[in-house]
Amino acid sequence: MQETFVTYQVMAFAATIALGMFIGFASDVLRVMRNTFRPSRPMLFFYDLFFWAIMTVITFIVLISSNWGEVRAYVFIGLGFGATIYAVVLSRLCYRVLDRIMQFICVIINTIAKPFIWTFRKVMLICSRCKRMIGVGVERNKKVFRLYKRINFNKNKKE
C-alpha cells in the first residue's frame, strides 16, 4: 500500500514537471505569435488573460487526473522545475523552430492570398474610378441644373 502511494506521488510529480515544460512551450508559442502579429497594448492584456486562463484549466485537469486534485508542495516544485528545465535547455531551440514555422506559414498564406488581394485591389480601383466619374457627372448636372433654374427664374420674372 505504501509503495503504491509513493508511486502515485512520483508519477504526479513527473506529471507536474511535464506540465511545467508544456507551459514553457506554450509561452514560447505565444511569444512567437506576439512577434509575428504585433498586437496593440490592450490586445496583449487579453492575449495574456486568455493564455493564463487556458493554462489554469489545463493545470486543473492534469492535477485532477494525476493526483485527484491534491495540491501539495511538490506540485509547485514540479511546475517550477519543469518550466526552469524548459527555459534553460529547450527554449532557444523551440523558439527558433517555432519562429521558422510561423514564417513559413506566413509565406504560404501570402502566396495563396496574393491573387485574391490583387483582384480585390483592382475591383476597388475600378469602383473608385466609377464613383469619381459618377461624382463628376453629378456635380456637372448640379451646375447645369442651377444654371437652368437661374435662366428659368429670369424668364419667369420678365413675363
| Residue range 63-106, pLDDT digits in tens | 888 877 778 888 899 999 999 999 999 999 999 999 999 999 99
What span, in angstroms and rounded, lies between the C-alpha atoms of 159 and 147? Answer: 19
Nearest to 90 by CA among 34, 38, 20, 137: 20
Structural domain boundaries in the chain: 2-112
Report residue 156 CA to chain centroid gap: 68
Q: Is the pTM of this model over 0.75?
A: no
**How does the average pLDDT of the chain come out, rounded?**
84
94-103 pLDDT per residue, tens? 999 999 999 9
What's the 3-state SS for 40-105? CHHHHHHHHHHHHHHHHHHHHHHHHHHHCCCCCHHHHHHHHHHHHHHHHHHHHHHHHHHHHHHHHH
What gap in Å lies between CA 48 and CA 159, rounded to an integer?
80
Kindly report the length of the chain: 159
26-51 pLDDT, tens per residue? 999 999 999 998 999 999 999 999 99
Cβ–Cβ under 8 Å, residues 28 and 98: yes
